[in-house]
Amino acid sequence: MRFDALTLFPEFFEVTRLGVTGRAFRDLGHELHTHSYRPFAGNATGRVDASPFGGGPGMVLRPEVLKDALASIPRAANARVIHFSPAAPPLRHADVVELARLDQVILVCTRYEGLDQRAVDTLVDQEFSIGEAVLSGGELPALFLMDAVCRLLPGVLGNEASAEEDSFATGLLDHPHYTRPEVWEGLAVPPALTSGDHEAIRLWRLREAMARTKRLRPDLWEAFLKDQVPTLAKADQWAAWQVEHPEEWGKPKARRWEP
């Protein structure tokens, strides 16, 4: 996989030597090429932006700068050009999975006031935001996307199974995790996890993941109830029912539960 990042601050991308991106680029032959807009300013001053028509604060990247910068980058047949903007739908895990199948992702980073809309309309394939905070530029969103994509590339994650259990891949938030010691500052690990009963552990984790999702992301929980619960095994449907009826937890399930 090849990433190209267009930016006024190529140094932002030095952190990709660390962690999963480091493994992808250094050890696994994936590539990151950073490109400054500066050589494409088209004037001796090196200015790549201009003030917005209609007035207002900030500067807007000129469309011909992006066009010329993109033209200097070799393109794979299935390359995707992505621009980051707070005024765009959020990047979802499903988007990350789709991007991980491409041969090339071109990341267009602009400052907050952004990019001339004609360049967005004619040169950009897809726009994403990351979260609802406004940032000073698109570099951190580009790093965010690369981290999320690189950990899905074969051989990047130590444990291949972990990508499939990711929050959002399952439609649920992750369950809580515990490690040694079994009692820490008076706080014990939940007994199910030390029971050695694999099915009890699986159901405990599922129920915790469901309870957390209901509490923190009611939107995801509603979708999970509607789309996924009907397809689950009976034991898992029972766990979902318990999450919806916490007052019934611990009571015998006989006769009270109608799936």
Binding site for ligand 4F9 (CB under 6 A): 84-86, 112, 129-130, 134-138, 141
193 CB contacts (<8 Å, ≥6 apart)?
178, 201, 204
Q: Is 205 a catalytic residue?
A: no
252 among known catalytic residues: no
Per the residue annotation, which of 166, 202, 217, 236 is the catalytic one? 166
Closer residue to ligand 4F9 (CB): 138 or 224:
138
In the set 86, 147, 202, 217, the catalytic residue is 86
Shortest separation between residue 134's beta carbon and ligand 4F9, angstroms: 5
Q: How far is the CB of 152 from ligand 4F9 (least distance, A)?
A: 20
Cβ 233 to ligand 4F9, closest distance in Å? 39
The nearer residue to ligand 4F9, 100 or 130, going by C-beta atoms, is 130
111 or 205: CB nearest ligand 4F9: 111
Q: Check if 166 is active-site.
A: yes
Candidates 234, 228, 226, 242; CA nearest to 259 is 234
Q: How far apart, in Å, are the Cα atoms of 200 and each of 157, 164, 173?
A: 27, 21, 19
Based on CB atoms, which residue is closest to ligand 4F9, 145 or 156? Answer: 145
Contact 176, 208 (CB under 8 A): yes
Distance CA 111, CA 109 (A): 7
DSSP string across 88-137: SPBP-HHHHHHHTTSSEEEEE--BTT-B-HHHHHHH-SEEEB-SS---SB
151 catalytically annotated = yes
Out of 62, 151, 205, 212, pick the active-site residue: 151
Least Å distance between CB 168 and ligand 4F9? 17
- The token duo for 248 is 């019934």
AA letter at 24: A
Q: Write down the catalytic residue from 64, 95, 113, 174.
A: 113
Distance CA 53, CA 59 (A): 10
Which are the catalytic amino acids? 86, 113, 151, 166
